[in-house]
Structure 1
């Protein structure tokens, strides 16, 4: 299915749907209701049936919330969506607050109506998040009331059905490790935590653990399900049985019992008196309450699958390399097309995003889907790091500024994510200076060697130093984890200023994406994926060092580089990278495109 660019959401949603919710709240004797963006599975991309905030308010951003009161309504969004939230929601209906820094809790403490009864759906809130809200509510005598059924679901008359896409088997040559071995290892980790079992609620963890994939979530090959895994490795999978084929049943074997989703709460009774590991970052407050009601002792801890999943095995790394070669060839075809067509003045943001997806689908063997909605931003839109073009915002591409495209693909052997920035016409000296500084930061994070135990937080400043030197910065993280034919954003590793204490380990895939954004004018970002290499002792050194190897293969636009700003070592890195791109991608191209690639990969 191709990406669509229709105008999603909009002020009419709130005008139509908020009154219906208010009527239902009155029937429940509630003064208001809290509506987070999150769904029951904490998905980044929500199935249509779970995108409650968008249906209610018209806001389609990936981070937000609303509080609906009987006589007013408040929208919460962070700095990424300051403009979008006001464009998509009705300012006569909503007031606006910052989501950052415990936004809803801050509002409860300072502005919420004294003594109000506010409902919430415990399946949509983490236990720690709920405690923060309850503490804040106490300052104004507010009662937070858990709802057995979500009142929004009650009034959502045309709500889509829950997705029920067929589950598939991730073959061993791509998964690298049999699911029985994975379950045994995870079980040992559960025992090490002093627990008898663990409840897994994150779809990527379940998909990786059982070597299965699905199609319930847009752009991510995930099945919606829940798992209970015992310390001996026996596993209960709670999933819509309509999604499970005979092949999947045979693959899972008799150590994995398949149950209806509705059987989960009942099955918890078998854990009475047992210690059960649950991750408060991925499981909801409802899960914690259900376990306690079943008589289990809850052990709070990290999802035991998250770290092993992040450390890719040899098959996963080799698969990712192969996927990146095919994807890089497709991106190179697009870059060639853009370089020749953009100066003609006939392109716009949507045609470029469509062309890139078309090239991927026609030329990149095995493509299952794009890995996220393409960020296709020209000029001032390139300065919005999370911009999503639609028919209303679509800009024509003209000479005089920059075009930024951030995109990726989902392949059975790997997940890709790449950003390239290109000039249309002659770039200014300022554009070259900023681009080169971003490139210098990108190179610094590519070549660094670091000891075991180092977190991404310790490396983040390397990518920022060249732009800090000019008094500049960017307001997003420098790197996120990426799955192996799973989510394009995964943890627990990241490279960012803020708290990211998880040490980087061999096999982890992370993005390397410093940037610079001049509001109202242009944006710059250079993004490659890279993986953490095995520790080696550097000649003359006395302890093993990890490093990075770049996965992404596509040319970086030399027209935006100011060579005088590059050191000899940086120039050598760039030339070696381009030589590698030409050597590995060139054989997948032919004719004019291959000649163009050789030209743009020539040494600086």
Structure 2
């Protein structure tokens, strides 16, 4: 079926069900950012495959909302379909409920559908309120049209679950559950339903392969004061994992029984996070519901010593792979400038180099390899239709990462392939200055990422330039490459920054139709060096923090306009490159070491 045929089948069903519109979010039953193929309903109905977006279909129109990361990609993918692109945060773009209200203003069917199992309680409740405000439209949540019209829909994955050893996790499953129960008591809850897949994987020290690039497994976890029950498909459990669960007093029930488990829950109160729990499951709870934030994300983002050691080791191996790749790319450009690899070919080469590293378990996200104007597409992913060869000039934006059993990596480098324009050099240097400003920040313990975000944007703001994505996100420990709730972002994010958190530093500038620049390191928040602090009496100074780069890979010096850098910025870059060389050089061949020596010489 093509997109038009899918829309026709949906509308036939909507007619029978007396619905004026249907909403397809990007999430699964666990409110995941990246989802298994079974839940890619928004992609199936619209053709847009970005990780964020919402499609809405009425009986005679269709629209898709997404953010600035995907504007260019969405425009391309929606061509030839009925879908109108709605650009989030752009002036004049209606909200979903405003658009639906206008579309159904004269409708005899002021009822809208959404699958309550794949949309959080908080989102559905807000949508109910807004739709009621816009013309008294009602929302129906008990229909999943994809069960009927998606004839070849992929099944829910049944891949085997694996243990994540204590040598990598640093804390036992029993200890984590004990901490969770203590946190629940502080919220006056006897137990909780855990829906987020990365939270479940972290809690149980288990991993899976159900979601592309994210080592999680489809499940729910129900915790009470005395019991823990894992709801998952029996086919996923090897004898080894069954024994592990039994040893840790974790009961097993079928994935489809989670709703019944909520209804049979025997304690007086249960915590359900409305941002993580689906609307359908929230309504199924029969006990007193404590609506509050799950305590798990705040625990998960605080890395213990074992996890931090794992990050450092994973970054070493990832840095080796990156250096091997960058040397290979430079050699290819110098030896065969007339026949250079394509974007997809360099993606394949880097993936192979990562795969050859010990403990590698694949990519942490699909590689973004954008040459020239493709670099201006923030989340560009080359396809056979868009793939282009590199040229011995201009800039290549390369955003990539690996999953290792002891850590997750995320790195972006913008690489000069030959002669550059003054504009390319100027923009590159602005981005580098922003990256260095944030990397050099010293800030009070508990500061918000929003308070620091301006450091990365200040130089480009002075020239009327900006980017609409966040400046940084948390990174999981062999888990999701995007981990929150802490972020560097213009929008208010109250989560305090604390020592032991990982977070990326990735400002960028994107000039549509020309090129893009982004420079990204994964950072660790650590206690600040107090050498230069003003002297104060003991006890009067609050704790201060700073950022330590975990990523080990040279930053391309060739595009830098040196006159735009201050002495402090040059010193930071030289110091960083000194560390990169010292840590990576023992792991390289003689030729690779010589290349790295040149790439990290002081400026």
Q: How does 1:454-473 map to 2 (within 5 A)?
A: 454-473=447-466
Q: How does 1:324-339 map to 2 (within 5 A)?
A: 324-339=315-330
166-175 or 560-569, which deviates more: 560-569
Provide the residue aligned with 2:360 in structure 1.
367
CA contact (8 A) 1:537 1:543 kept: no
Matched residue SS, 1:503: coil
Aligned partner of 1:202 among 176, 182, 196: 196
Provide the residue aligned with 2:543 in structure 1.
544
Distance apart, 1:102 and its partner CA: 7.4
Aligned length in residues: 587
1:311 aligned onto 2:302: yes
Following the alignment from structure 2 to structure 1, what is the Cα–Cα distance between the partners of residues 70 and 232?
34
Q: TM-score, normalised by structure 1?
A: 0.94
Provide the residue aligned with 1:66 in structure 2.
55
Distance apart, 1:536 and its partner CA: 6.7
Distance apart, 1:97 and its partner CA: 2.9
Provide the residue aligned with 2:571 in structure 1.
572
Following the alignment from structure 2 to structure 1, what is the Cα–Cα distance between the partners of residues 419 and 408?
34
Residue 117 to residue 469, structure 1, CA distance change in 2 (3 Å): closer
Distance apart, 1:340 and its partner CA: 2.1
CA contact (8 A) 2:54 2:65 kept: yes
Residue-by-residue CA offset, 1:362-387 (whole Å, 9 max, x unaligned): 2x211101000000001111111111
Provide the residue aligned with 1:83 in structure 2.
72
Matched residue SS, 2:310: helix
Residue-by-residue CA offset, 1:302-343 (whole Å, 9 max, x unaligned): 121101100000000000000000000101111111122235
Aligned partner of 1:129 among 123, 146, 168: 123
Distance apart, 1:454 and its partner CA: 0.3
CA contact (8 A) 1:108 1:136 kept: no
Provide the residue aligned with 2:110 in structure 1.
116
Matched residue SS, 1:461: helix
Following the alignment from structure 1 to structure 2, what is the Cα–Cα distance between the partners of residues 275 and 174?
34
CA contact (8 A) 2:442 2:528 kept: no
Provide the residue aligned with 2:514 in structure 1.
521
Provide the residue aligned with 2:602 in structure 1.
603
1:485 aligned onto 2:478: yes
Aligned partner of 1:97 among 73, 86, 102: 86
Provide the residue aligned with 1:180 in structure 2.
174
Residue 469 to residue 314, structure 1, CA distance change in 2 (3 Å): same
CA contact (8 A) 2:33 2:52 kept: no
Following the alignment from structure 2 to structure 1, what is the Cα–Cα distance between the partners of residues 499 and 380?
33
Matched residue SS, 1:123: coil
Matched residue SS, 2:277: coil
CA contact (8 A) 1:42 1:282 kept: yes
1:416 aligned onto 2:405: no
Residue 257 to residue 559, structure 1, CA distance change in 2 (3 Å): same
CA contact (8 A) 1:166 1:214 kept: yes
Residue 175 to residue 580, structure 1, CA distance change in 2 (3 Å): same
> Which segments of 5 or more consecutive residues in structure 2 lack a partner in the other structure?
none
> Which segments of 5 or more consecutive residues in structure 1 lack a partner in the other structure?
1-11
Provide the residue aligned with 1:432 in structure 2.
425
Matched residue SS, 1:76: strand
Provide the residue aligned with 2:98 in structure 1.
106
CA contact (8 A) 2:23 2:112 kept: yes
Task: Flag as ranges the 4+ runs of structure 1 deviating above 6 A.
Answer: none
Following the alignment from structure 1 to structure 2, what is the Cα–Cα distance between the partners of residues 444 and 96?
35
Matched residue SS, 2:360: coil
Aligned partner of 1:141 among 116, 136, 143: 136
Provide the residue aligned with 1:4 in structure 2.
none
Following the alignment from structure 2 to structure 1, what is the Cα–Cα distance between the partners of residues 237 and 499?
34
437-446 or 539-548, which deviates more: 539-548
Residue 377 to residue 90, structure 1, CA distance change in 2 (3 Å): closer
Matched residue SS, 1:207: helix
Distance apart, 1:430 and its partner CA: 2.4
Following the alignment from structure 1 to structure 2, what is the Cα–Cα distance between the partners of residues 94 and 543?
53
Matched residue SS, 2:215: coil
CA contact (8 A) 1:376 1:405 kept: yes
1:163 aligned onto 2:162: no
Residue 183 to residue 81, structure 1, CA distance change in 2 (3 Å): same
Provide the residue aligned with 1:271 in structure 2.
265
Q: CA RMSD in A?
A: 1.8
533-542 or 181-190, which deviates more: 533-542
Following the alignment from structure 1 to structure 2, what is the Cα–Cα distance between the partners of residues 478 and 254?
40
Q: TM-score, normalised by structure 2?
A: 0.94
Residue-by-residue CA offset, 1:109-165 (whole Å, 9 max, x unaligned): 333344422222111222222122222322223222222x41122121111111111
Distance apart, 1:458 and its partner CA: 0.7
Aligned partner of 2:250 among 244, 249, 256: 256
Matched residue SS, 1:257: strand
Following the alignment from structure 2 to structure 1, what is the Cα–Cα distance between the partners of residues 525 and 94?
33
Following the alignment from structure 2 to structure 1, what is the Cα–Cα distance between the partners of residues 180 and 341?
51
CA contact (8 A) 2:68 2:469 kept: no
CA contact (8 A) 1:349 1:397 kept: yes
Following the alignment from structure 1 to structure 2, what is the Cα–Cα distance between the partners of residues 474 and 95?
23
564-573 or 383-392, which deviates more: 564-573
CA contact (8 A) 2:14 2:20 kept: yes
Distance apart, 1:17 and its partner CA: 1.3
Matched residue SS, 1:405: strand
Residue-by-residue CA offset, 1:511-560 (whole Å, 9 max, x unaligned): 00111112211111110001111467555252221111110000111101
Following the alignment from structure 1 to structure 2, what is the Cα–Cα distance between the partners of residues 212 and 273?
26
Following the alignment from structure 2 to structure 1, what is the Cα–Cα distance between the partners of residues 146 and 426?
51
